[in-house]
Amino acid sequence: MNPHDLRRVDFTLNDDQRTVSEAFGAFFDSESPTSLVRASEPLGFDAQLWRKAVELGATTMALPGRVGGDDAGILDVALVAEALGRTLAPIPLLEHVAATRLLASTGDPSVAELIEAAASGERILGLALRPLDGRSLVSTAAVADDIVGFDGDAIVVSSADAPRPLMINQASQPAAWVDPGAEEVRQVASDDPDALFSRAQREWKVMTGAALVGMTEGALALGVEFVKTRETMGVLIGTLQGISFQLADVKIGLSGARNYVRRAAWLLDNEPEQEPHFASGAFAYAAKIATEGTTISAHVQGGLGFTVEADASLYFLRAKGWSLAGGPIREDVRAVGAALLAARVARSNQLSTAAV
C-alpha cells in the first residue's frame, strides 16, 4: 500500500497547522472587521492591514528556505486563506503568494531582488492567470507593482510606471487591465515555464478555493445568528424547516468543500503530479458552495439581507467575483470531466490489452 493512501482521506490537522489556523484566524478576526472591508471599497485594499499581515509572516511562510522563506506548504497557506476569506480581508495575499512562489520556482538569479522585495511586502505582486500575451484583466493589478505571468514561451514580469486604473466591479477587487505592450516586460529564465505556470495556476485555485470556504463559513455564521433571534408570530424562524434545512445544507456543503480543498492542497504538497485535475475540481466546488451559501444566508435574513447596509451583502457580492478572477468556472468543470474520461479510457485500454 502507498503510505500516503490513508492520508489522502484524512483531513485532520497536525499541531503546527492548528497553530497556523488559530493564529491567522485570530489575526483576521481582530484586524479585518466588516467596517474595514467597507472602508476599503471600491479598491478592495487596505495598506495598513497589508503591512500587519506581512509582519505576521504571511508573505514569507510559503517561500523556499533558500530565498528566505519558511518552507510552508500549500495546505498551510490554505489555512491562512480560510481565515482571510472568513473576514473578506481586503489584501491581495493569495495572488501575491502564488506569484512569488512562481518566481522562486524558476531559479533565475535575476529576480532575486524582486523576490526579496515581495517577501518583505515592499512590492506587491499580481498573478496573470491567463496567458499574458496581450491586454489582460488581472484581479489585483490596480494595487500590484508587478504582474507575473506566462506569455506562451516564458515566465514574464510586467511592470507599470504608474498605478493601473481600477476597473470597478461588484466584488470590490483591485482589478485593472495589464497591457504588456505599454509596460516594461522582462522574461524570466526557467527550464519548463509551461509546467511552472500550470503549477502556479493550481496553487492559486486551491488557495482561492480555501478562501471561498472561509467566505461561506463567515456568511453562514451571519445567517445562523440572525435566525436565532428573529421571530414570526412568536416562533423563532430558525426552528422552521424552510429556514433550518437550508442552513443545514450550506453546512454540509461547506464541510465537503473544505475537505475537497484540503485534499487538493495535500496532493500539491506531496504528490503534485497525481490527479492534477483535483485543484480545478476543488476550486469549482468551493465556488459553487460559496455562491449558494452566501445567497441562502442573505435569503434567510429577508429583505434586510440584500440591503447594502447588511454585512450579508458583503459576502453575497464577493462570492462570484472572487471565483471568476481565473476565468469561467465551467472551464474547470470541463477540465475535470476531460481528465476523468481520459483516465477511464486509459484504464479500459489496459484491460483490453491484458485480455488479449
Tell me the pLDDT tens digit for each residue of 38-97.
999 999 999 999 999 999 999 999 999 999 999 999 999 999 999 999 999 999 999 999
User: Average pLDDT, whole number, for the chain?
Assistant: 93
70 inside domain: no
**Helix, strand, coil shares, percent, the chain, to 5:** 60, 10, 30
290 inside domain: yes
293 inside domain: yes
Number of domains in the chain: 1
d(Cα 219, Cα 295) in Å, to the nearest integer? 9
Predicted confidence (pLDDT) per residue in 237-273, tens digit:
888 899 999 999 999 999 999 999 999 999 999 988 8
166 DSSP 8-state letter: P
247 contacts 220 by C-beta, under 8 angstroms:
yes
**pLDDT value of position 179:** 96
8 inside domain: no
Phi and psi at residue 242, in whole multiples of 5°? -65, -25
For the chain, the distance separating the N- and C-terminal CA atoms, rounded to the nearest angstrom, is 28
Question: 132-146, 224-238, 316-330 — which one is most confidently predicted on average?
Answer: 132-146
207 inside domain: yes
Predicted confidence (pLDDT) per residue in 86-131, tens digit:
999 999 999 999 999 999 999 999 999 999 999 999 999 999 999 9
d(Cα 248, Cα 256) in Å, to the nearest integer? 13
Residue with cell 445544507: 249
289 inside domain: yes
45 contacts 174 by C-beta, under 8 angstroms:
yes
User: Which phi-psi region, left, alpha or beta, contains residue 123 (left: φ > 0; alpha: ψ -120 to 50)?
Assistant: beta
37 inside domain: no
d(Cα 79, Cα 82) in Å, to the nearest integer? 5
| Contacts of residue 10, Cβ cutoff 8 Å, sequence gap at least 6 | none
Selection from 179, 202, 173, 342 nearest residue 284 by Cα: 202
Query: HSE of 313 in the Cβ direction (CA atoms, 13 Å)?
Result: 12
Least-confidence region, from 17-31, 94-108, 144-158, 332-346: 332-346
123 inside domain: no
Phi and psi at residue 334, in whole multiples of 5°? -65, -35
C-alpha cell at position 321: 467575483
Residue 343, domain extent:
195-355
Q: What is the CATH number of the domain that holds 290?
A: 1.20.140.10
pTM (two decimals): 0.94
